[in-house]
């Protein structure tokens, strides 16, 4: 049963988090707060500090604007949002200055968290335990999508082409680097070294020779104890946005976007969020009808292979021999200028309509 105030569905917008993508999540929150249909939805902004405290935040999009010179950050204001203690209630409460008050019942949670402790199934598991509906992928798909090793393993088993890779743990590297080096070198140069469970290109390096392996691993291990070494794929970087199907229907794929890198080694964090030069984002990408249909089919197949629900962005390389899946992002960048909403805008869904569609999917009977 949907609980509404003045006819509006009540949405707990959950953002911030403990991961290195904290600020990007906050910027996404700013975009959603500014665009969500206020005639349909009442929003309760719940922030998660870098220490993991759930705090009641202001409903003010300007507080979380994406400013390259000063990325948004949650500051602990001393409040503590208290989640329902069982599936019998959907009431949120907040404790502040020794007083606990009710925030009322909520209908759905919109977790726009990136990285570990949010995008990886942990928050989804918490919400499942207390029976709260939420936007996006479930526990399994979130965990699979977050872990690049297991994403590749599942996609390869489904017959979907992925880049060759070797997985290295910090423990194994510390104990026997000489034994691992031949496996790593077998990938060939150039190669990319990246944390297995991080996003937004944090901790990623392009390695062109043997001397670059150790510092690249050190950078990636600073983010995660498990690291992927991938062979560089020569091809166009193209992306496709996916939405789950309505009422059990098939998933839907958008037109394609393309990342054109001209003055950088790769599409890194600075290019994605700090307005650094050397990258152009083109949407829709220039593809033939045959290429676009093939890419959309593969995106939906990848989404279904991990048990996806709600949304995802599937990243590809278009090579002379066909498409290779790079990653499946189960909570893609969702600021108004990010590729996921941009692809849907070019397909016919505005940013506010996209938010409404995701909430509608979350509230459908399971």
pLDDT (0 to 100) of residue 215? 96
Alpha-carbon gap, residue 132 to 116, rounded angstroms:
20
- Average confidence score pLDDT of the chain: 92
3-state secondary structure of 344: helix
pLDDT (0 to 100) of residue 263? 63
Determine whether 262 is exposed, middle or buried from the number of CB atoms within 10 Å of its CB (0-12, 13-18, 19+). exposed
1: Cβ contacts below 8 Å, ≥ 6 apart = none
CATH superfamily of 145-162+234-363: ATP-grasp fold, B domain (3.30.470.20)
Higher pLDDT, 266 or 32: 32
Reported confidence tier of residue 277, pLDDT bands at 50, 70, 90: low
3-state secondary structure of 290: helix
Provide, rounded to the nearest whole percent, the portion of the chain with pLDDT above 70: 93
Domain coordinates in residue numbering, the chain: 4-134, 145-162+234-363, 165-231
Residue 53 pLDDT greater than 80, yes or no: yes
pLDDT (0 to 100) of residue 6? 59
5: Cβ contacts below 8 Å, ≥ 6 apart = 42, 104
347: Cβ contacts below 8 Å, ≥ 6 apart = 241, 254, 255
Query: Looking at residues 245-263, what average pLDDT do you find?
Result: 91
**Cα torsion 42, 4, 341, 113: sign:** positive
pLDDT digits (tens, 9 = 90+) for 316-357: 999 999 999 999 999 998 888 889 999 999 999 999 999 999
pLDDT (0 to 100) of residue 266? 55
Here the tokens at position 165 are 């890779």
358: Cβ contacts below 8 Å, ≥ 6 apart = 110, 135, 136, 243, 310, 311
Tell which phi-psi region holds residue 37, choosing left (phi > 0), alpha (psi between -120 and 50) or beta. beta
Q: Say which CATH topology domain 165-231 has.
A: Dna Ligase; domain 1 (3.30.1490)
Query: Looking at residues 105-123, what average pLDDT do you find?
Result: 95
Query: Looking at residues 122-140, what average pLDDT do you find?
Result: 97
Alpha-carbon gap, residue 279 to 292, rounded angstroms:
22
Reported confidence tier of residue 272, pLDDT bands at 50, 70, 90: low
pLDDT (0 to 100) of residue 4? 47
Alpha-carbon gap, residue 24 to 71, rounded angstroms:
8
What is the arrangement of strands in the sheet containing 91-96, beginning at the earlier edge strand?
80-82, 91-96, 99-105
pLDDT (0 to 100) of residue 267? 54
pLDDT (0 to 100) of residue 278? 66
193: part of which helix (H) or strand (E)?
strand 191-195
Residue 189 pLDDT greater than 60, yes or no: yes
Residue 18 pLDDT greater than 50, yes or no: yes
Residue 366 pLDDT greater than 80, yes or no: no
Here the tokens at position 125 are 């598991």
The correct CATH number of 4-134 out of 3.40.50.720, 3.30.40.230, 3.30.2310.20, 3.40.50.20 is: 3.40.50.20
Q: Report the predicted TM-score, pTM, of the whole model to 2 decimal places.
A: 0.90
């Amino acid at each position: 049963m949907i609980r509404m105030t003045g006819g509006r569905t009540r949405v707990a917008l959950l953002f911030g988090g403990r991961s290195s993508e904290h600020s990007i999540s906050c910027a996404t929150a700013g975009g959603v707060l500014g665009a969500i249909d206020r005639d349909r939805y009442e929003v309760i902004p719940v922030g998660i500090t870098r220490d993991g405290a759930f705090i009641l935040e202001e409903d003010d999009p300007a507080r979380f604007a994406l400013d390259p010179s000063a990325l948004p950050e949650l500051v602990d204001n001393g409040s503590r949002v208290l989640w329902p203690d069982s599936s019998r209630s959907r009431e949120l409460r907040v404790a502040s200055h020794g007083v606990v008050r009710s925030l009322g019942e909520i209908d759905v949670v919109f977790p726009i968290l990136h990285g570990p402790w949010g995008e990886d199934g942990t928050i989804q598991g918490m919400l499942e335990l207390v029976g709260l509906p939420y936007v996006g992928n479930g526990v399994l798909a979130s965990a699979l999508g977050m872990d690049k090793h297991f994403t590749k393993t599942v996609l390869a088993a489904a017959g979907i082409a992925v880049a060759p890779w070797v997985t290295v743990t910090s423990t194994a590297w510390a104990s026997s680097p000489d034994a691992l080096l031949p496996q790593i070198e077998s990938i060939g140069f150039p190669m990319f070294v990246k944390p297995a469970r991080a996003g937004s290109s944090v901790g990623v390096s392009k390695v062109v020779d043997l001397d670059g392996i150790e510092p690249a691993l050190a950078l990636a291990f600073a983010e995660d104890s498990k690291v992927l070494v991938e062979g560089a794929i020569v091809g166009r970087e193209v992306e496709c946005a996916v939405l789950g199907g309505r009422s059990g229907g098939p998933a839907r794929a958008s037109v394609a976007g393309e990342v054109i890198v001209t003055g950088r080694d790769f599409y890194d964090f600075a290019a994605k969020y700090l307005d650094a030069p050397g990258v152009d984002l083109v949407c829709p990408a220039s593809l033939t009808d045959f290429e676009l249909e093939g890419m959309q089919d593969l995106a939906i197949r990848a989404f279904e292979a991990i048990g996806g629900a709600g949304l995802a962005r599937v990243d590809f390389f278009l090579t002379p021999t066909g498409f290779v899946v790079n990653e499946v992002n189960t909570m893609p960048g969702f600021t108004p200028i990010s590729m996921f909403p941009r692809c849907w805008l070019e397909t016919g869904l505005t940013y506010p309509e996209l938010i409404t569609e995701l909430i509608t999917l979350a509230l459908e009977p399971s």
